[in-house]
Homo-oligomer: A and B are copies of this chain.
Amino acid sequence: MLTIAYDGTDYHGFARLKEDPDTIEGNIDRAIKKVTGETVEITGASRTDSGVHALCNAAVFDTESSVPAFNFTDALNTKLPPDIRIRRSTEVPGDFHPRHTDTLKTYRYEIDNERTADPLRSRYSMLVGYALDTDSMNRAGAELVGEHDFKSFCSVHTQAASTVRTVTGIEVIRDGTCSERIYIMVRGHGFLYNMVRIIAGTLIDVGRGRLAPEDVTDILYAADRTKNPCPTAEAKGLTLMDIEFLGLEDR
């Protein structure tokens, strides 16, 4: 199992695409081939969208190689571009599948709440130039915590059999240390296609006063993306911060 960090700016998402070499999976598959000589397709835990970043995504693969699991970290890093880094490599049970295991995932959506973008954060945050009321955003976020049908917060292109998911926490934090920055932390057991970005887009609309926090409950119960007037927030502001595999021992 690999723990993987990447700056998603220059990649077309995590998931392997035929005839497109610029995916995170594609790059790691090729690095493994260079190290072991084997043709493998890694199985990722989170198929993040194009432009989304990760500090701790995960993927597994089978190998006949005699290279100890621990040594794959440095071996793969020498073959990977600098904006994709393996942070840990460990052995896991052969039947472990990272998407068929209960997980707790933590995402952070970063908002640069200034008039002019901070060029040191512009790859990793969305610029929102108007004032945001984080108290309202927190109240709206609380409406979404729990097990719900999140169809109103899911791309219409989803192929998921069920759109019911459990969100365990949403917290909106303002950090004005250097400049005004707002983090939307979203944690839950799995997410639908674009779900965190639509939650972020909805909370931003609440923060600027276009919607009241209570309106978010109506949107949730409508269970229809077309009944949610809020945009999908930009990919670049989203970072997958952590995945906890429940039942799997500490990586």
Contacts and interface: CB of A to CB of B under 8 A. Distances in A.
Interface of A: 5-7, 53, 55, 73, 77, 82-87, 114-120, 122, 124, 178-179, 239, 241
A6 B178 contact: no
A178 B119 contact: no
A241 B178 contact: yes
Contact of A7 (B84, B85, B119, B241): B119
Contact of A86 (B87, B116, B239): B116
B55 A117 contact: no
Given A73-B116, A83-B119, A83-B122, 15 more contacts: A5-B118, A6-B119, A7-B119, A7-B120, A7-B122, A55-B118, A55-B178, A82-B117, A82-B122, A84-B119, A85-B116, A85-B118, A86-B116, A87-B115, A178-B241
A116 B82 contact: no
A80 to B, nearest CB: 10
Contact of A124 (B6, B82, B117, B120): B120
Contacts of A124: 120
A70 to B, nearest CB: 11
Closest 10 CB pairs of A and B: A7-B119, A83-B119, A85-B119, A87-B116, A85-B116, A5-B119, A7-B120, A6-B119, A53-B120, A85-B117
